[in-house]
Amino acid sequence: MEKHKVGIVGLQRGHGLVNALATHPRLEISAVCDIDPKVLHDIGADFGVPEARRFLSYDDLVASDVDVITIATPIEQHAAQTISALDAGKHVLCEQTQAYTVADCEAIVAAEKRSGKLYMMAENYTYFHYITEWKRRIDAGEIGDVFYAEAEYLHDIVDRLIDPVTGKRQWRYTRPPIHYCAHTLGPLLTLMDDRVVRATGVSSGKKRFPDEEGEGFLDMEVALFQTEKGRVIKILRSQVAPRWPDLVWYCLHGTNGFIENGRTAGYGNASDGLFFSNRTMPTDPGAQSLLCDTVDPESPAEARTGGHGTSEYYLVRDFVTALDGGTKSPIGAVRASDFTIPGIIAHESARQGGVWLDVPRLG
């Protein structure tokens, strides 16, 4: 079988994903695109892409003969670039977040439907090894019926909001923290096989950066979600809270027990978690330690090239499987909106003083 020709736009944010794409035997890194000529040259050379297929213009990439376009640009560009690629007959693998507005999410869902092409949001945290292991345990009923879940993602990226050398504001400075919720909400909804129907949110304001205008400088935002299956989810997000290392933490409570990862290590490290099920330990009220590793120990060596443990390797594998089999995308446009829109609605709720708002369903 011929390889799928892949073009990628946004080479700084997408470098790790390019590594994962390059390891798959069914994919060929055929073209690259970036607005920075030096980055374009360096990464194009790293992956053996001819100069004639190194594009400064996204329109030129779309007009080329690639089969797949991988989008790793700033989030505000995702909707327009995704729709352009789908309408040109290209399959799309797009970094999260899907888009910044409900209308743009709706437009992506419509473009996927009319194009007949595959769209997948590259929500890699759903592919952490320990998340896939938790899915097996939860589906087997080991903690019973999940009724509550929460997650926190604290990642101080002030240097990506303001360039520390030039002082220039960068694209993330306008992004409200809770808009970037797919790394927390995506894994929880995957584990629970559920979707959000109502949301409320609150922010603590800008105590650390009181003079900054961009909503990216909000100290933190907390969202509460009600799900279709009657569960409650709480999400905490901050991109300026001074916590090191950064933290990604998940916890789920069920009728028979709970499961959670550790709170001391960053997202890229193995960390001890806790697990309790009264089915497996009927006489012991204590929880057992649980290794929560982002790396699948059974994976091949090349699976570690993408970063974030082995998550990108398995994400790309599922994408290609869907491509080859003509099957449904694991995180298609509708499911990507399930991971994205609740954060948009929660931020709007926070703006309105924490009122409960309905979360639209796009499919």
- Average pLDDT, integer, range 154-159: 94
- Does position 270 have pLDDT exceeding 90, yes or no? no
Is the CB of residue 84 less than 8 Å from the CB of residue 170? no
The secondary structure of 100-133 as a DSSP string is SSHHHHHHHHHHHHHH---EEEE-GGGG-HHHHH
Amino acid (one-letter) located at 310: T
Per-residue pLDDT tens digits for 253-267: 999 999 999 887 766
What CATH code would you report for 4-125+312-329? Answer: 3.40.50.720
pLDDT for the residue numbered 263: 85
Check if CATH label 3.30.360.10 holds for domain 126-303+340-358.
yes
**Residue-level pLDDT at 244:** 85
Q: How confident is the model at residue 284 (pLDDT cuts 50, 70, 90)?
A: low
User: Is residue 10 very low, low, confident or very high in pLDDT (cuts 50, 70, 90)?
Assistant: very high
pLDDT above 90 for 281: no
**pLDDT of res. 127:** 96
Among the ranges given (88-92, 246-250, 270-274), the one the predictor scored with the smallest mean pLDDT: 270-274
- pLDDT at position 151 is 97
Domain boundaries, the chain: 4-125+312-329, 126-303+340-358
The C-alpha atoms of residue 280 and residue 313 are separated, in whole angstroms, by 33
User: What is the pLDDT confidence band of residue 337, given thresholds at 50, 70 and 90?
Assistant: very high
φ and ψ at 350, to 5 degrees? -60, -40
pLDDT in tens, 199-231: 999 999 999 999 999 999 999 999 999 999 999
Question: Tell me: the pLDDT tens digits for 95-109?
Answer: 999 999 999 999 999
